[in-house]
Amino acid sequence: MRSHIQGDLSAGHFANKLLKIGYGKVPEDSSTGLIIMPCGQIVNSPDGLLSKVYPNIRQNFKDQDWLSQGAILASRNDVVEKLNVTIQKQLPGKEYAYKSIDCILNDDEAPGKDDEPMKIERFGKLKLFAT
């Protein structure tokens, strides 16, 4: 999408490579069984990944333009949660936890589609990310 809207050819090439992986059309290394992917860099840990995507995050985390230049994609929410915690631990400052009350006084005001409002039971199932 970004390659189409912004004319970003490198994003388009990368998107096509990801599609080939998804369709199983990328060759495998016969000795390791790993796919051969000539783009990107290999890192050995979440910290290594973060330092490649967001170098000097402690100095730059308030710069939204700088943050928007990188992105880490993950296939599962548990991986995203671990990465978020790792990033949060690198940021300076005091940690705050905000609490809320999960009740709705009037079911007619519940968020969601008009024909299928979000029931209060769903709020208790939401996974919160915290360090």
Q: What pLDDT does residue 64 have? A: 92
- Per residue in 45-104, pLDDT tens? 888 888 888 999 999 999 999 988 888 877 788 888 888 888 888 888 888 877 776 666
| pLDDT tens column, 2-36 | 445 556 777 778 788 878 888 888 888 888 888 77
CB 61 within 8 Å of CB 67: yes
User: Which residue has tokens 């710069």?
Assistant: 63
Greatest CA span in the chain, whole angstroms? 62
Q: What pairs with residue 52 in β-bridges?
A: none
Say whether pLDDT at 38 is over 70: no
| Tokens read off for 111 | 């968020």
The DSSP line for the chain is -HHHHH--HHHHHHHHHHHHHHTT-S-B-TTT--B---SS---SSHHHHHHHHSTTHHHHTT-HHHHTT-----SSHHHHHHHHHHHHHHS-S-----------S-GGG-SEETTEEPPHHHHHHPPPP--
pLDDT at 1: 46
